[in-house]
Amino acid sequence: MSDRIHSLSGYFHEYQKSVADPENFWARIADSFHWKKRWDKVLDWNFDGPDVKWFVNGKLNITENILERHLFIMGDKPAIIWEPNEPGDPNRILTYKELYEEVCRFSNVLVEKGVGKGDKVIIYMPMVPEAAIAMLACARIGAVHSVVFAGFSSSALADRIEDCKAKVVLTSDGNYRGKKKIAVKSVVDEALESTDLVETMIVFQRTGQEVNMKAGRDFWWHEAIEGQSTSHVAEEMDSEDELFILYTSGSTGKPKGVVHTCGGYMVYSKFTFENVFQYTPGDVYWCTADVGWITGHSYIVYGPLLTGATTIMFEGVPTYPNPGRFWEIVDKYKVNQFYTAPTAIRALQVHGTEPIAPYKLDSLKVLGSVGEPINEEAWHWYHTHIGKTKCPIVDTWWQTETGGIMVSPLAGITPTKPAFATLPLPGVQLAIMDPDGKELKGNSVEGNLCIKFPWPGMIRTTYGDHERCKQTYFSAYKGMYFTGDGVKRDHDGYYRILGRVDDVINVSGHRMGTAEVENAINEHPLVVESAVVGYPHKVKGQGIYAYVICDMSNRTEANLTNEIKASVTNIIGPIAKPDKIQIVPGLPKTRSGKIMRRILRKVAEGSMDNLGDTSTLLDPDVVDKIIAGRKE
């Protein structure tokens, strides 16, 4: 059953209902799912705990709403179309029936390995259908998956294993991405040297490269599923049982495990998918994200599959073997909805329109953008050259913590404006706050973006540390969830996201804490202190600029810079590698020892004549020295 809104007046009507009577609004949406037992109460909440429960005492299994639900009515319909890295290689198409069978087989494997309800399973896999099968099999048996992006280093992986106390890791031998063949299992092996929690590793064979298999711990995926039954009875889950943990970066400390639960996430991911993309039966939908991020969770796997959609998984990169690869795939599968990140658009824009010329792109109906603010130039390029001015662009604002899209046009319904995420989805009650905690009402205002009422897909806790959840999201503004983003509401009441107002930077749509990068830099033995800021980057949106104080004896600057980059790659992964490193004699600190990042940001972005008040600095001369050594 579809809960799609069909018109702008329909949107305003539904929005109004969702605010006036949220419980009835969401109960109606939730009623179109299969529950093993209906809930007793729609919502129980307070933002002080925070303590939020949706569909209280409802019992369900999310995979029944993906698999059993579609098995009989559309068993032969493609659920997942997998396109490999290499254009000439065979693709794979899994129908809903095949997906059902594969998920059941793998569920049986997990059960046989002693995995049960509540156990934590790390999935460190490339973009292959087995990654989605693994997620669904966990959900089916009640295990809690934590997908770790397969570009993270062994030490980042080990941290996550330790934090969630995972006893199983699902991985692959290797991975193909563009020209590269990347080792995957060996990264897990290295991670497991520093933790003994993991009892079982199951390895999907993708590249056939040589790997070490530890007897009793490591098993091949293809051998494990052999002879397993293709049916499995789904575990009964409480609506508020954990579905998954996904680690994300914040202003301080190590990445935290954002916890999402079964019932609310199910309802929210499907509702938002159907409405934002205006998915209609028979459409082919493609989101280019990786399953290691929330976009991959909600809009490659859960949202589309709950809707009975055909979702494409692409193993490769936009520029291999040439910058026409995305468009070749769009034509090949007649993609109707295409969802990507501004960084990918900008990376392709650099190559001009020639790579697009051979392709028709006439199947496209909707274009989507996610992960970072989309600049107007990229918006127009996307609209003109990819959408041929016919396709609405849905600029979707949301976060790992929100579980699903929060502010976005409904495709073809909400009039769009370049670089504006436009209006909140039904059920999303936004507030713009000034620094003193006062809500800025009316139009033409700018401030910090908060949310003042719960929505079903919201974060429940940060794994193992509820206080951190409270401090990070529910303390800045009383009774509100604080997003960490700045926002403007214009004269039409449209929302434009301005970017993070905390110490989080967004590099190629990947979220990174400056403190996390600094900690990795500081691991280098010659580094005394460092400060990391973001600066505008043509393709990545933001680049990483690191100011580092170090002991330069026995090293040239070039040597040291390379060593620091290598160290960050080792500790976090290549995505956190600084773009620019400036060795500095000191950092601009206030008399109380606080680094004035504002100054460092200005220097990094090149606006030195506008540094503001520097009179409170301990040593104002250090600023001139920093400016003199600035990296272009």
Interacting residues toward ligand PRX by CB under 6 A: 248, 294-295, 369-373, 395-400, 421, 483-485, 497, 499-500, 506, 511
User: From CA 203, how far away is CA 211, in angstroms rounded?
Assistant: 10
Please, what is the minimum distance in Å from the beta carbon of residue 597 to ligand PRX?
17
Please, what is the minimum distance in Å from the beta carbon of residue 42 to ligand PRX?
26
**Cβ closer to ligand PRX: 58 or 509?**
509
Tokens, residue 57: 């005492």
Give the DSSP H/E element, type plus range, for residue 171: strand 168-172
Strand partners, 369: 340, 395
Please, what is the minimum distance in Å from the beta carbon of residue 509 to ligand PRX?
7
User: From CA 588, how far away is CA 619, in angstroms rounded?
Assistant: 7
**Cβ closer to ligand PRX: 10 or 499?**
499
| Nearest alpha-carbon partner for 62 in 142, 168, 164 | 142
**Cβ closer to ligand PRX: 108 or 396?**
396
Please, what is the minimum distance in Å from the beta carbon of residue 219 to ligand PRX?
32
State the SS3 of 136-166.
Answer: HHHHHHCCEEEECCCCCCHHHHHHHHHHHCC
**Cβ closer to ligand PRX: 50 or 373?**
373
Please, what is the minimum distance in Å from the beta carbon of residue 147 to ligand PRX?
13
Please, what is the minimum distance in Å from the beta carbon of residue 498 to ligand PRX?
8
| Nearest alpha-carbon partner for 178 in 220, 127, 142 | 127
**Cβ closer to ligand PRX: 109 or 370?**
370
**Cβ closer to ligand PRX: 269 or 506?**
506
**Cβ closer to ligand PRX: 485 or 516?**
485
Please, what is the minimum distance in Å from the beta carbon of residue 291 to ligand PRX?
13
Strand partners, 95: 78
Please, what is the minimum distance in Å from the beta carbon of residue 559 to ligand PRX?
33
DSSP 273-320: HHHHHT--TT-EEEE-S-TTSHHHIIIIIIHHHHHT-EEEEE-S-TTS
State the SS3 of 95-114.
Answer: EHHHHHHHHHHHHHHHHHCC
**Cβ closer to ligand PRX: 257 or 324?**
257
**Cβ closer to ligand PRX: 371 or 426?**
371
User: From CA 571, how far away is CA 527, in angstroms rounded?
Assistant: 15
| Nearest alpha-carbon partner for 286 in 314, 316, 319, 317 | 314
Q: ∠ CA(315), CA(307), CA(243), 5° rounding? A: 75
Please, what is the minimum distance in Å from the beta carbon of residue 420 to ligand PRX?
9
* Residue 207 burial (CB count, 10 A): 17
Instruction: Tell me the residue number closest to ligand PRX, measured at CB.
Output: 400
**Cβ closer to ligand PRX: 85 or 295?**
295
User: From CA 607, how far away is CA 140, in angstroms rounded?
Assistant: 53
In the chain, the amino acid numbered 245 is I
Tokens, residue 363: 């199947």
Please, what is the minimum distance in Å from the beta carbon of residue 234 to ligand PRX?
28
Residue with tokens 């293709």: 230
